[in-house]
Structure 1
Amino acid sequence: MAELNTIRTTAGARSSAIDQGLRAHMNKVYGTMSIGMLITALAAWAIAGLAVTTDPAAAVGQIGNGKLLTGLGAAIYTSPLRWVVMLAPLGMIFAFGALTNRISAAGAQLFFWTFAALIGVSLSSIFIFYTSYSIIQTFLVTAIAFGGLSLWGYTTKKDISGWGSFLIMGVIGLLVAMVINWFLQSPAMMYAISMIGVLIFAGLTAYDTQRIKSTYLAHAHHGDTEWLEKSAIHGALNLYLDFLNMFQFLLMFMGQQE
């Protein structure tokens, strides 16, 4: 009987430790993601401010909505450099996956901060094309939706791991549709793409949250602190991308252009 009580006590203590560890892990994920979003927002705002001028004498070009561009703005938005700015973050995503097992947790975190800053540079044009009010409004809507979806993904007892392949196929289809519409320039098709994009990344938010939780529970007993640290950063990157994409697709039909 005493041995049975000891086993129960040990099992209870282990379960409590895992629960505490999971909460700390998720706090690390959400905290890292939030700092990444802050870096992105500040980088986008700062670059947009430096890229536009009201002085015609200082302007070296202009963008589609008639705003005058400084040398920096012309380089980022109208020169071939814009392709580097657009594609560099995508390249970093693939690089992060390849380097995860080779770099330290501190290196992975620095990589994420750098990635967030580059995303800010590539997204800086939203401050030029959209009103500040609509950007803030869309951000708040995205934050509320993201919070609810992530909470559901964390607390639901339903196994949604089967959503993964379907959602990834949806992302690929979405990219193909966006490339096609880049040539067609169809407003109706763009509206449909934005709606479908919101739904896909809403699903990915719940799916990724549950996967982060499941991954931690499957590996917590190994006690590999370094691996768990890198896993938290990787999870933060996934949720960061879910939030960012949902925000961009919402902005397509909620945002008011200047």
Structure 2
Amino acid sequence: MAEYGTIRSGVGTAAANIDAGLRAHMNKVYGTMSVGMFITFLAAWAIAGLAVTTDPSQAVAQIGADKYLTSLGSALYLSPLKWVVMFAPLAFVFGFSAMINKMSAATAQTMFYVFAAVMGISISSIFLVFTGYSIMQIFLITSIAFAGLSMYGYTTKKDISGWGSFLIMGVIGLIVASIVNIWLASPAIMFAISAIGVLIFAGLTAYDTQRIKTEYVAHAHHGDTEWLGKSAIMGALSLYLNFINMFMMLLQLFGNRE
């Protein structure tokens, strides 16, 4: 009887340790993601500020009644460099995912923050296209939706791992359609991409949150701190990408243009 009590106590202690570790792990995931989001929007705002001027003497091209592109803005948004800026985050994600096993957790975290800055440069044109109020409004809406979806993924008892393959196929379809529409420039296709994209990345937010939680619980017994550190970075990257894509697509659908 005493042995049974000891076993039950040990099991209870192990479960409590996993619960505490899971909370710390998820806090690191959300904290890393939040810092990445801050870096992204700071970089986007700073680059947009350097790319646009109201002084005609510094202008390279006019984009509005009292707005002009500087030489930096012209290089980023009008020259062939725009293609590098546009596709750099995608290339960075593939490279980062392929090399993370060879990195330390500290290096992976630094690379994530570098990626966040690159993403900021890539999306900086939103400050030229949309009003500042509209950007903040859509950001708030996205934040509320993201929090609700992530909470659902974390707390639900339903296994939603089966969503993964369909959602990933949807992401691939969105990437292909977006690339094709660069040349077609069809507003109808862009609307469809944005509307479907919001649903796909909403689903991925819940799916990835549950996946991050499940992976931690499955590996927590091994005590591999290096793996757990890198797992938190990759989890932050997944949720960060879901947030950014959902934000950009909601902005395309409901944002007020300059």
Q: 1:29 to 1:89 in 2, by over 3 A?
A: same
Aligned position for 2:142:
142
Higher mean C-alpha deviation, range 76-85 or range 182-191: 182-191
Q: TM-score, normalised by structure 2?
A: 0.97
- Structure 1 residue 64, shift from structure 2 partner: 8.0
> Tell me, which stretches of 5 or more residues in structure 1 are unaligned?
none
Distance 1:183 1:118 in 2: 24
Query: 1:165 corresponds to which letter in structure 2?
Result: S
Distance 1:211 1:82 in 2: 35
Aligned position for 2:170:
170
> Tell me, which stretches of 5 or more residues in structure 2 are unaligned?
none
Q: Quick check: 1:82 aligned with 2:85?
A: no
Aligned position for 2:227:
227
Q: Quick check: 1:180 aligned with 2:163?
A: no
Q: 1:25 to 1:193 in 2, by over 3 A?
A: same
Distance 1:137 1:97 in 2: 32
Aligned position for 1:201:
201
Distance 1:178 1:125 in 2: 17
Q: TM-score, normalised by structure 1?
A: 0.97
Matched-pair identity in %? 69
RMSD: 1.3
Q: 1:65 to 1:101 in 2, by over 3 A?
A: farther
Distance 1:181 1:98 in 2: 28
Aligned pairs for 1:85-124 (under 5 A) are 85-124=85-124
Query: 2:48 corresponds to which letter in structure 1?
Result: A
Higher mean C-alpha deviation, range 6-15 or range 188-197: 188-197
Q: Quick check: 1:243 aligned with 2:243?
A: yes
Query: 2:20 corresponds to which letter in structure 1?
Result: Q
Runs of 4+ residues over 3 Å off in structure 1: 62-67
Higher mean C-alpha deviation, range 248-257 or range 184-193: 184-193
Q: 1:64 to 1:159 in 2, by over 3 A?
A: farther
Aligned position for 1:47:
47
Q: 1:178 to 1:216 in 2, by over 3 A?
A: same
8 Å contact kept, 2:40–2:119: yes
- Structure 1 residue 108, shift from structure 2 partner: 0.2
Higher mean C-alpha deviation, range 52-61 or range 226-235: 52-61
Q: Which secondary structure state, in structure 1, belongs to the residue aligned with residue 117 of structure 2?
A: helix
Q: Which secondary structure state, in structure 1, belongs to the residue aligned with residue 102 of structure 2?
A: coil
8 Å contact kept, 2:54–2:66: no
Q: 1:190 to 1:65 in 2, by over 3 A?
A: farther
Aligned position for 1:32:
32
Per-residue CA deviation, residues 124-159 of structure 1 (Å, 9 max, x unaligned), is 100011000110010000000000000000000110
Per-residue CA deviation, residues 175-202 of structure 1 (Å, 9 max, x unaligned), is 2222333333222222121110000000
- Structure 1 residue 81, shift from structure 2 partner: 1.4
Higher mean C-alpha deviation, range 183-192 or range 26-35: 183-192
8 Å contact kept, 1:62–1:74: no
Distance 2:97 2:179 in 1: 25
Q: 1:86 to 1:179 in 2, by over 3 A?
A: closer
Distance 1:109 1:156 in 2: 29
8 Å contact kept, 1:18–1:217: yes
Per-residue CA deviation, residues 174-229 of structure 1 (Å, 9 max, x unaligned), is 22222333333222222121110000000000000000000000100110111100
Distance 1:195 1:157 in 2: 28
Q: 1:136 to 1:114 in 2, by over 3 A?
A: same
8 Å contact kept, 2:88–2:118: yes
- Structure 1 residue 63, shift from structure 2 partner: 4.3
